[in-house]
Amino acid sequence: MTKFTRRDFVKAVGAASALPLLGASAQAAEPFKVGFIFLGPVGDYGWTWAHDKGRREMEAALGGAVKTTYVENVKEDASAIPILRDLARQGNKLIFATSFGYMDQVLEVAKEFPDVKFEHCTGFKRAANVSTYNSRFHEGRAVTGTIAGKVSKSGVIGYLGSFKIPEVVMGVNAFTLAAQAVNPKIQTKLVMIDSWFDPAKETAATETLANLGCDVIATHTDSPAPLQFCQKKGIFGFGQGADMSKFAPKAHLTAIEDIWGPHYTARVKAAIAGTWKSEDFWDGIKEGAVKVSAYNASLAKDAQDAANKVIEGYKAGSYDVFTGPIYDQSGALKVKEGQKMGLGDLATIDWYVKGIQSA
Amino acid sequence: MTMTFIIDALVTVIGITTPILLAASGELVVEKSGVINLGVEGMMLVGTIAGFAVTFETGNPWLGILVATLAGAAAATIFAVLVLSLGANQVATGLALTIFGIGLSSLIGSNYVGIAIDPLESPFPDALANDSFWRVIFGHSPFVYFAILLVLAIGWFINKTRAGLVLRAVGENDLSAHSIGYPVIAIRYAAVAFGGAIAGIAGADFSMVISPLWAEQMTAGRGWIALALVVFAGWRAGRLLAGAYFFGVLMALELYAKASGHAIFPSQFWAAMPYLIAVIVLALISSRDGKDGKAPACLGKPFIPNG
């Protein structure tokens, strides 16, 4: 007979009240439940697709030890709150919120469920039970920017963005700085379409950039539609989130692939083992979280070499695209010669570098 | 501003306007008959996946369009059975149809993620379609020409033909139409199925021309804009055509303003602009209280014959 404290009682009642929900699965070896909220549909073949691929890899790696639930098409507004709450009430002990716009909603729900662990992707606010995780996508953007700088004949390159948030701002900055490093005359035209996923508007925006003289266009939205337009128009682009070469075999120069599986597997393992702590993860090319796809066979050797140099530099820690001198659009010096921007500054960056034309 | 630039911009406008114009044209006929079907987005998505899947499997885009048309009509027929034969609430059933269309298209589409097809090109000879000037007229997909001809035909049908008069009568006063001997329910069935068929074609435009791939919910809310457009146009075909192109020009202006670095207005304002203008136009229409721009009198009301 063991001692039965009040705390145990509370736990037992809590467990009993959870039983009807769990139903038949409430066995001794109950799997650890993990929830995900996704911004787009898992079939977007971009951002959400990559997260879902990570989820499936994690599930495969941990076998029967986990049970995952996901909710797709969750808007980045207050409607995310009841969805997060529901996931927590359904017994998910670790919940991944996979877009920037869920930041405050996650913190709010995390306060209500101190026993549930949350991980918020691309944000910068943490709590005892809220971690943040991000990828150094901008390293991939530095690689694609290098290629764009080499490939562009007009000297004008395009960047199709979604919203003015730090992830996109640092993306277009890295892309432009890297392109300018190989061709100082490069100008970048930036269009934000106020959406992550809208193939028709993405296509129209790409068309607009092409009409304004851009001959290489990078996308920071989620569908392969812009690449298909580049293919039709005979200009070049890059895959976003996944290798999209089959959508545009000629136009697709390379892609930045988001690899989330290892992070999800490690964090779920830590949560099961009880070693999960609130942390800020920011992995990149070196850790394998950001991968650059195979180059298009048509890409010239010197462009490939320049891109490889950037990749090797990131692996060795000897290269950083955000190394001064860096000027903003007005020409003011923001980062002094030889200095590097820290990840903390990047996480909240809201200014564009010189050479970007934005509205 | 050079000529090429203007032509490029016009091509963009025409491309983004067409699916909205199509879906709105179909819904115009539905609403003229006195039925409001809020399931346009869902019917479009069913057409989007049907057109893509059939084109991919058979290699025949015309068969793809045909099946998209039938799929849109079939989805609309489900709606028609519920609201016309079983008397279900039109607003709730229309919303349910949207959710159904999203789900069904995602389910079927799960096998087609990550596949591309060749876009359906202009039906005219390359010499015209790719000419730097004439492409503004001849360089579009068949959807573009169909959409313009369709809305003109609908305008003629509604205003100039006897059958169109009957359709309007059913929408304005179903009891009178019934008492004269017109089959109100059958006419509404036909109108709803027609609207669905056209929404299906509008959907196919997304997956066969604009971005020839399948991605879940790739219509991204255009069905709702189409619904708003019908109201915006005051239930008139001519204004529908003008209104659709007005929306298209606004969207293109937004993109050009941003890309050329002269936003004029903050980007949020551009995004809100179509809605702002819609509100202003609606306010103007209702304040005039004239003959034009009024909704069909029986819109959204179930038909209950007396006796």
Res A5: pLDDT = 45
A119 touches chain B (CB under 8 A): no
Closest in B15, B220, B259 to A198, CB measured: B220
Contact A227, A244 (CB under 8 A): yes
At the topology level, CATH places domain B3-288 in ABC transporter involved in vitamin B12 uptake, BtuC (1.10.3470)
Residues in chain B with CB shorter than 8 Å from the CB of A202 are 211
Longest dimension (CA), chain B: 68
Res B290: pLDDT = 55
Sequence-distant (≥ 6) Cβ neighbours of residue B156 within 8 angstroms: B164
Mean pLDDT of A32-58: 91
Q: What pTM was estimated for this model as a whole? A: 0.85
Q: What are the tokens at A164?
A: 């003015």
Classify the phi-psi angles of B200: left when phi > 0, otherwise alpha if psi is within -120 to 50, otherwise beta.
alpha
ipTM comes to 0.87
Task: Please give the Cα distance from B263 to B74 (Å, whole number).
Answer: 44
| Three-state SS letters, B46-109 | HHHHHHHHHHHHHCCHHHHHHHHHHHHHHHHHHHHHHHHHCCCCHHHHHHHHHHHHHHHHHHHH
Res A347: pLDDT = 84
Closest in B11, B252, B260 to A212, CB measured: B260
Residues in chain A with CB shorter than 8 Å from the CB of B114 are 45, 246
Domains and CATH numbers, chain A: 29-136+260-283 (3.40.50.2300), 138-257+289-357 (3.40.50.2300)
Res B285: pLDDT = 66
Give the model confidence (pLDDT) of A114-160 as tens digits: 999 999 998 889 999 999 999 999 999 999 999 999 999 999 999 99
Is B256–A208 a contact, with Cβ atoms under 8 angstroms apart?
Answer: yes
Is B116–A248 a contact, with Cβ atoms under 8 angstroms apart?
Answer: yes
Sequence-distant (≥ 6) Cβ neighbours of residue A86 within 8 angstroms: none
Higher pLDDT, A11 or A220: A220
Residue percentage of chain A with pLDDT more than 70: 92
Q: Are strands A117-121 and A252-258 parallel, antiparallel or unpaired?
A: unpaired
Give the model confidence (pLDDT) of B247-280 as tens digits: 899 888 888 888 877 766 776 777 777 677 767 7
Residue percentage of chain A with pLDDT more than 90: 78
Is A41–B256 a contact, with Cβ atoms under 8 angstroms apart?
Answer: no
Res B35: pLDDT = 96
Task: Please give the Cα distance from A324 to A341 (Å, whole number).
Answer: 8
User: Residue ranges of chain B with pLDDT lower than 50?
Assistant: 307
Among chain A residues, CA nearest to B210 = A200
Contact A117, A93 (CB under 8 A): yes
Q: Are strands A252-258 and A290-292 parallel, antiparallel or unpaired?
A: antiparallel
Res B267: pLDDT = 67
Distance from the Cα of A221 to chain B's closest Cα (Å) equals: 13
**B residues 244..263 contacting A (CB < 8 A):** 251-252, 255-263
Residue A333 pLDDT class (50, 70, 90 cuts): very high
Sequence-distant (≥ 6) Cβ neighbours of residue A328 within 8 angstroms: A334, A351, A352, A353, A354
Contact A173, A334 (CB under 8 A): no
pLDDT at residue A19 above 50? no
Phi, psi of A328 (to 5 degrees): -90, -175
Comparing CA positions, the residue from A313, A306, A311 lying closest to residue A150 is A306
Sequence-distant (≥ 6) Cβ neighbours of residue A141 within 8 angstroms: A170, A171, A172, A174, A175, A178, A218, A256, A321
Triad B235, B241, B244: Cα angle to 5°: 95
| Mean pLDDT estimate for chain A | 90
A201 touches chain B (CB under 8 A): yes
Sequence-distant (≥ 6) Cβ neighbours of residue B302 within 8 angstroms: B83, B87, B90
Residues in chain A with CB shorter than 8 Å from the CB of B12 are 204, 207-208, 211
Closest in A209, A246, A358 to B116, CB measured: A246
Higher pLDDT, B127 or A41: B127
